[in-house]
Amino acid sequence: MQTQNIQYIEEDEIDLRELFATIAKNKWRIFFLSSLITSLTIVYALNLPNVYKSETVLIMKDESSKSSLGGASALAAMAGINLGGGGGGIDVAGLFETLIGDYQFNKDLIKKYDLNEKLSENSIKPNLVFPNIGSSLRDFIKKYQSTEKETLDLEEQTFETFKKLKDILSTTKDKGSGNLILSATFEDRFMAKELVNIYLKEMSNYIKKLDFKEINDQMNYYESELAATNSIDLRSNLNELISSLIKKKVLSQAGDFYMVKQMIKAQVPYIKDKVKPKRALIIIVAFITSIILGIFLVFFREFLKGEKEPEKIKREDSPLSF
C-alpha cells in the first residue's frame, strides 16, 4: 500500500527539467510573440502625446476681519449667519469640487468660452508634444486612418466636453497647510493653464454671487423688521447686523478672487516637465507580460497535444479501425 502511495506522489510531481525542455524547444515561438507585442507597444507608446499639469495654489483669506465686526458676530451666530470676511465655515474646496462636477455650471461656462472648439482635436493638435520619432510615426498612421467621424449636435458636443473637463480638472486640499490646489492635467500645456485660470475666476464669481444673494436677502429682511419695530434695543441690534453684513460685503470684494488668495499662479508647464505617459515603463511591462504570455501559450499548446495523443492511440487500437 505504501509503495502504491509513493508511486502516486512520483506521478504527481512536476518534472522541472521537462518544463525547461518545453520552453527551450519553443523558444523561437516565445521570442516571436514577445517581439511582436513589444514592437506594437513601442509604436503605441510613441503615438501617445505628452500630458502636462498646470496648477494654482490658493490660501483662504485671513479671517482676522472677524474681530472688527464686534458683538455682531456673536449675535449673527445665534441666527445662523456667518459674518466672517474670510469665508469661515464655508468649505471652498468642496464647493470647487461640486462645481467641477455640475453639468449646468459647466454647460454655461463651455458656451461662454467656446470650450467645445478649444478642446477639439484640431485646436490642440499644434500644441501636442511627441518624441521626435513619435510625431512622424503618428502622422504616418493618421494617413491610413479613416477621417470620417460621427457628427454630434451641440448638446452632445457640450456633454462630451463636460466629461472631458471632469477628467482634466481636479482639486486637492493639503492637510498640513490647508492650502487648496486647483489643477488641470491635459495634453495641451497652454490650454491646461488657461483652464485653471478660467475655472478659478468663474467658480470664485459663482460662489460670490450666491453668497451676495444670501446677504442681500438677509439685509432686506432685517430692514423690513427694522421698519416694523419700535423697540430701541431691537432696532439697535438690527442696525448692527445690517452694518455688519454691509461690512462683510465690502471686505469680501478686496482681492482678485472671492474667499481665496492666489499664492502661486498657474504657469505653462515646461515642455520637458510631463507627468505622463511613462513610455519606458509601458514598454518594460509589455515585454515582461509578453514573455509570460508566450510561456503560458506554449504550455497550453503542449497540453492540447497531450490530450489529443491518447485519443489517437485509442482510435488506432479500435477493432473497427482499418
Same domain flag for 290 and 195? no
Same domain flag for 79 and 217? yes
Decide if 64 is inside a domain: yes
Residue 74, pLDDT score = 41
Decide if 177 is inside a domain: yes
Secondary structure of residue 186 in the 3-state scheme: strand
Is the pLDDT assigned to residue 162 strictly greater than 50? yes
| Domain encompassing residue 303 | 18-47+278-317
Same domain flag for 67 and 28? no
Does the pTM surpass 0.85? The reply is no
Decide if 322 is inside a domain: no
DSSP assigned state of 151: P
Please state the rounded mean pLDDT for residues 189-212.
91
Is the pLDDT assigned to residue 149 strictly greater than 80? no
**Count of structural domains, the chain:** 2
Same domain flag for 102 and 251? yes
Residue 62, pLDDT score = 56
- Cα–Cα distance measured from residue 299 to residue 24, given in angstroms and rounded to the nearest whole number: 12
Decide if 86 is inside a domain: yes
Please state the rounded mean pLDDT for residues 284-310.
83
Please state the rounded mean pLDDT for residues 58-66.
62
Residue 80, pLDDT score = 43
Residue 65, pLDDT score = 44
Average pLDDT, the chain: 78
H-run or E-run covering 263: strand 260-264
Decide if 2 is inside a domain: no
Residue 202, pLDDT score = 92
Residue 250, pLDDT score = 76
Residue 187, pLDDT score = 93
Please state the rounded mean pLDDT for residues 179-193.
93
Same domain flag for 83 and 171? yes
Identify which of 65, 96, 99 has the alpha carbon closest to the alpha carbon of residue 244.
Answer: 65
Decide if 13 is inside a domain: no
Identify which of 97, 80, 94, 88 has the alpha carbon closest to the alpha carbon of residue 251.
Answer: 88
The answer to whether the CB of 88 falls within 8 A of the CB of 63 is yes
Same domain flag for 164 and 69? yes
Residue 268, pLDDT score = 92
Identify which of 207, 210, 183, 201 has the alpha carbon closest to the alpha carbon of residue 269.
Answer: 183
Residue count of the chain: 322
Lowest mean pLDDT among 34-48, 81-95, 121-135, 179-193: 81-95
Identify which of 183, 181, 201 has the alpha carbon closest to the alpha carbon of residue 258.
Answer: 201
Q: For residue 111, what are the CA distances in angstroms to 107, 116, 315? A: 6, 8, 74
- Cα–Cα distance measured from residue 135 to residue 55, given in angstroms and rounded to the nearest whole number: 27
Is the pLDDT assigned to residue 14 strictly greater than 70? no
